[in-house]
Structures are given as C-alpha cells and as structure tokens.
Amino acid sequence: MSKVEKDVLSRTDLEGLVDDRDQQIAELKARLAEWEESYDGIARRDVLFSTVSGREVKPLYTELDHASDDDSVGYPGMYPFTRGPYATMYRTRLWTMRQFAGFATAEETNERYKYLLAHGQTGLSVAFDFPTLMGYDSDHDRSLGEVGVCGVAISSLADMERLFEGIPLDQVSVSMTINGPAIILFCFYVAAAERQGVDVSVLRGTVQNDILKEYQAQHAWIYPPEPALRCIVDMFEWCSEHTPKYNPISISGYHIREAGATAAEELAFTLRNGFEYVERGIARGLDVDSFAPRLSFFFDVHNDFFEEIAKLRAARRIWARGMKEKYGARNPDSWRLRTHCQTAGVTLVAQQPENNIVRVAYQAMAAALGGTQSLHTNSMDETLALPTEKSVRIALRTQQVLAYESGVANTIDPLAGSHYVEALTDDIERDALALFEEIDEMGGVVPGIEQGWFQQEIANSAMRQQREVESAERVVVGVNHFTEGSGDIEIETLRIDPEVEQRQVAKMAEMRSERDDTVVTSTLAALTEACRADENVVPYILDCARAYCTLFEIRAAMEEVFGSYKEPVFF
Amino acid sequence: MSDERKIRVLVAKPGLDGHDRGAKVIASAFRDAGFEVVYTGLHQTPEMIVNAAVQEDVDVVAMSVLSGAHMTLFPRVKGLLDEAGADHMLLTGGGIIPEDDVDELEKRGVGRLFGPGTSTSDAIAYVNEWFATTHAN
C-alpha cells in the first residue's frame, strides 16, 4: 500500500481492518483451544521439553506466538538483516570453510595448512599454543611442557614467516585466534606480509582480539581492562587507515558459551561487549562508520538446532538496531553483523567418539540455516587430543556435503516465517535485551567483570547443565543413555613429539644470536615510551616486530606501563 | 575411621590453560558432596600448587588439564609432592587426556584421571573410596 493510499484511508476503513484482524485472532484462538483439548488428553514421553539452555518449548507454535512483520524480519541484505547480512547470501558465495589448525612448530603447521588448502578449504585459521596465547616465548620458564602442544608456537616474526612460507598472504584470508597479545601477533603478521613483498593494504583476515570475553570466560589475558581496551581501539584506528579489508576484532560468544553460558547469555554478553568496543572507539573520537564496518563476530553453534538458528537471526537484528538507533551509524555496513561460527566443542564426548561426527553435522546445518559467513566444524576426536589428519578431513567433508548435497544453500533463510523459529527469535532477543539492562545497572561491562558477575552467571549455567546431564534428565547419547559400547575407545590420536619444544628453543637461540641487539633495545624502549605517552602503539610494535624482538620482550615493554591483570578467584 | 572429619581437596589449574569450566564444576560438586574445597585459580605453576597443598594440608590434589601438557604437569606435581613429604596425598584429576597417557601416569603414581563426559558423582565416589581405604585405621 503506498503512502498516498494510506493517507486517504478513512476512519471507518481503519476500524474495519482492526475488526477483521480481531475476528481472525479470535478464530485462531478458538481453533488452538480445540487442538489443546485433544493434546491434553494424550500421554507424553517423560523427557525434558526444553532447549539445552533451559528454555521451555511449547508443543505447538502458531502465528499467535510471534509478531514478525516487515520491520522485524524484512529481507536479506536489508535492515535489520534478520534474514541475512547480504542480499544474495550463499547464491553468490558459500560460507568460508575455515578449519582452525595449529600444532608443534611453524613448519609442521605450515604443512597442515597446505594440506587443508589442497583439500578445498577456502581460508586459514591459526591456533596458537598456550605460551603464545599468554604472551610467553617458547624458551620462557612458564612455557615448559606446553610449547606447540595445543597450537603452534609463534615467538617472533621469524616463526610467523615460517608459518606462511609458500602461502601468499595477498591471496588467502587468515584468521588468528589470539587475544591478550593480539596486537603483537597482528604486527608479526603484517611484518611477515611485508617480507613476502605484499602490499599490506590488501590483507584480508581477522584477529580475534576480544579481551572482554577473556576476562569473562576464556582467561588468556595479560593487561588489565583499561590498557587492553586502549590497544584494541589503537587497532581499530590503525587498521581503518592501513588494512581496510582486515577485521581488527572478532567479538566472540564462542568461549562464553563453551564455558557454560546459555544461548541467550552468549548472545547478550557478546553483543554488549561489541557495543562496549563501539563506545570506546567513539570515545577516542573516531567516526563510528570508520571502524564499525570491520567489526566481526564469532558464535558457538550448540546442540539445540532451532534455538541456535534463532540466536543468529536475533543477533543480526539487535546489532543492526543498536548501531543505527543508539550509536548513530549511517553506513549500512556498520549495521550488518557478519559472523564466523564453530560447532560446539563442549558437546563432543569421549564415549563412542564416532557419534560426534553426527553432532557436528547437525550443528553445522544450524549454522548454515542461521546464515553464517564462515564455519569451523570440530573433529570427532577432539575430546581426546588435537585432531588427526583423517578426522579433520571428515569434518571438512561434513561441510562440503552440507553445502553441495543437502540443498540448504539454495534459498535464503528458508526458516523465516516458521512460527517456532520466529517466536524463538523474538524470545531470545527479548532475553538478551533484559540482560543488557542488568549489565547497565552494574555500570557496564568492565564493572561486571570486576565484580565477577559474568563469571558467576556462566558458572551457574554450567552447573545447571551438568546436573541435568548427571540426573540423566538431559539425554546424552553414549553417556547417560545408549551406553552399550561406550567403554572401549579405540581411535587413533595425534601426538606431539616432545622434541618440538627443544627444537623451538634451539631456533629461538639462533634467532636471538642473529639479530641486531641495538635495534632490539631501541625499538622496545620507544614502545614503552609510546605506551606512557598515550600514542597509538601499533607503529611502535611493528618496528619491534621488524627488529625480531620476541613476543615476551614486546609484552614486557608494554607491561612496564600497563601492569598485569589479576583475576578474582571464586567458584 | 576415627572421626567424621571432612575430606580436604585442592582443585588446581596448572599451566597456562584457561579452560576452567571443569575445575569450577568439580569444585562445586565436591563442596556439595561435603568436602572442604580450596580452588587455586588459574595459571598456577607446579610449585605454587604443591605449596598450596602443603599449606592447606589437603588430602587430595585434583588437577584439571585441558592443554595437552598433562605428561609434564602431573609427574612434576607428583615429584614435588613427594619431595615435600606429601606423598600421602592423592593426586588425581581430569581433562583432555588420551587413554595411553592415563595408564602411563597411573604407573608413575598418579591416581585416576577422568575424561570429558565423566559424571561428577563418579569422581566423588572415587575420592570417598580412596579416603575410606587409606584412613581405615
């Protein structure tokens, strides 16, 4: 109906329309009541009819359960993006199949990357070992026993160069999961691209760089919140000028969820963290549209199929509305929530591990139906060790079967208009907005972290889920039901050679002996000074990286000014 | 058993691994089961853990390791406990630990290690049984 036609509707016409609608609703309610009567008389299975997050699910949804209209659902690629961030979605480009990988030394991980690219993977994703995640060099005392075990060890530009040997960084997008020292690893990456002769302005990829969820859930931090947030805004500023196609942050719900949060908590905490970063950028004096288009997201895709789909749809709508209405962004790219997803590691079990392939496949399908931009599918053996080459291939093939055989990529947001999915989308949005209010009442995200509120909420939700599983109310196949055959676990697992640590330590000694110590000292001193002077630290860290200063040396140069974070301990 | 004293447990997170969902769940479950529980918090060195165990005079040290560094961390803590004259303490734990490593660590004097999907009641029963057996007189 055009605006003109609307204007000429008479009062009588309007009253007529309202009466018609009232009558329709009355008829719907009458038919629903009739159905309820027949439903009430029949016995039901004695199981939980709720999602894994504890959300009660009704036996039937109808159009009475949701208010979906053009304003809230709309069209893909159009505000508020409930149906997808892009107009054409998977008809133009499938999601990026991006398997997270890293182990041992840079050379061994480099081999795995080449293997994955040869098998049709379309992006890379770096998993670092714990020392790197915490900002320690491979030859630091605290790294003992952990070098290259849980990811790849990267202690300087030299390691980063070896990691991408023969992989042109202007042609592949690389995601790096690193947070506490994210700004340092990002500079190693940029310097490695420079060494390859690549124009850094074409770099595509993402660094996780989401420190707020580290304090809340994942716990790989270095500095206290304020200086850590300053570094993140430094990245926003530097990247918008120098690497405009690179995402300087991936605001992540994954770890919040894995630590125990419900779907609504994951959604609310993640988006609220995202808005916190936006506020910090604005407070620096940046134009919101200069950095918001490069903010990216990362969600977990857990077991409850429809709830996960609804969560992704609600995420886009809440983000779009917040960015436009609250933060005044004018560029549609600032409203558009783009996300990576990963299937839920926490749902994998050690008992009958082959069943994990099936869990991953359903979760992957939910991610695709939720409209993700990229996806990592977990491997079946990850409850035992890092995945073998074979299990990684099965996980990747799972995505390919989904993308090319199942038909889910043929049409956009095929579940829109489903009474259940639209109602869930509305409900989960409402829950998230209520949690926003609670966080605001505490004074925001940082006070919430300092009071341990997020940590406690997450731990409480984890405990509730544990009780449901232990009482066997929540069925987990192979764990509390259908356990025949759960005793014997016979699958091959990947082993990291203990000599990796010695090899890495030896390489570091060689690198240290070859570099120019005067430049090392002067670039580190300049960095400390820049931290003190409130300058953007990225150019200074880049200079350190180019001089082959190590991760820990750079960390320490900043720590002198920034101090370190102490967690509030409780359980 | 002479009296009904509470079993004292140190729940510990060694190494750089920040995954504490399991540690917190087991700490809460132990507390609910009537144990006295001390939780170390994250990023502890083996030395810090053994110091805490001795200072708190615990019966059991339960370590959660999801980083793959279990073959370094468990033997190191076991060695330090023995050195500190605390070899009467039970060193047990859980995490992402392959079966072969569980067997190998058991040979080196480490107690039972529990994997993903373990019911907290199994771990509680194990600690209770161990305590009843070792404190029978």
Q: What is the pLDDT of residues A141-180, one digit of tens each?
A: 999 899 999 899 999 999 999 999 999 999 999 999 999 9
Mean pLDDT of the region A461-467: 92
Mean pLDDT of the region A342-369: 96
- Report CB contact under 8 Å: A130, B120: no
Any residues with CB less than 8 A from the CB of A58 and at least 6 apart, and which? A65
- Report CB contact under 8 Å: B67, A130: yes
Residues of A within 8 A of B11 (CB-CB) are: 571
Residues of B within 8 A of A480 (CB-CB) are: 119
pLDDT of residue A58: 96
Res. A521: pLDDT tops 50: yes
Q: CA-to-CA distance for A140 and B52, rounded, in angstroms?
A: 23
Crossing angle between the packed helical segments A263-283 and A305-321, to the nearest 10 degrees: 20
Which of B11, B16, B21 is opposite residue A260, by nearest beta carbon?
B21
Sorted by where each begins, the domain ranges of chain A are: 89-470
Instruction: Output the CA torsion sign for A222, A224, A227, A233.
Output: positive
Res. A95: pLDDT tops 50: yes
Residue A318: name the closest of A270, A263, A385 by CA.
A270
Q: CA-to-CA distance for A246 and A173, rounded, in angstroms?
A: 9
- Report CB contact under 8 Å: B15, A351: no
pLDDT of residue A8: 62
Instruction: Provide ipTM, 2 decimals.
Output: 0.85
Which of A136, A478, A569 is opposite residue B39, by nearest beta carbon?
A569
pLDDT of residue A46: 87
- Report CB contact under 8 Å: B41, A569: yes
B64 touching chain A per CB within 8 A: no
- Report CB contact under 8 Å: B28, A459: yes
B23 touching chain A per CB within 8 A: yes
Indicate the pTM of the whole model. Answer: 0.92
Res. B2: pLDDT tops 50: no
Mean pLDDT of the region A410-417: 97
Residue A287: name the closest of A244, A242, A321, A334 by CA.
A334
By C-alpha distance, the chain B residue nearest A128 is B67
Domains in chain B and their CATH numbers? 8-134 (3.40.50.280)
Antiparallel, parallel or unpaired: β A374-376 and B8-12: unpaired
Q: How far does the CA of residue B80 sit from the closest CA of chain A (Å)?
A: 16
Mean pLDDT of the region A256-260: 96
- Report CB contact under 8 Å: B25, A462: yes
Residues of A within 8 A of B19 (CB-CB) are: 218-219, 259
Mean pLDDT of the region A116-140: 92
Task: Indicate the average pLDDT of chain A.
Answer: 94
By C-alpha distance, the chain A residue nearest B31 is A571
Check whether the bond before B75 is cis (ω within 30° of 0): no
Buried b (16+ CB within 10 A) or exposed e, A337-351: bbbbbbbbbbbbbbb
Res. A68: pLDDT tops 80: no
Higher pLDDT, B2 or A78: A78
Res. B1: pLDDT tops 50: no
- Report CB contact under 8 Å: A384, B98: yes
Q: How far does the CA of residue B25 sit from the closest CA of chain A (Å)?
A: 6
Work out the pLDDT band at A7, boundaries 50, 70, 90: low
Looking at domain A89-470, its CATH class is alpha beta
Res. A1: pLDDT tops 50: no
B47 touching chain A per CB within 8 A: no
* DSSP secondary structure code for residue A70 in this structure: T
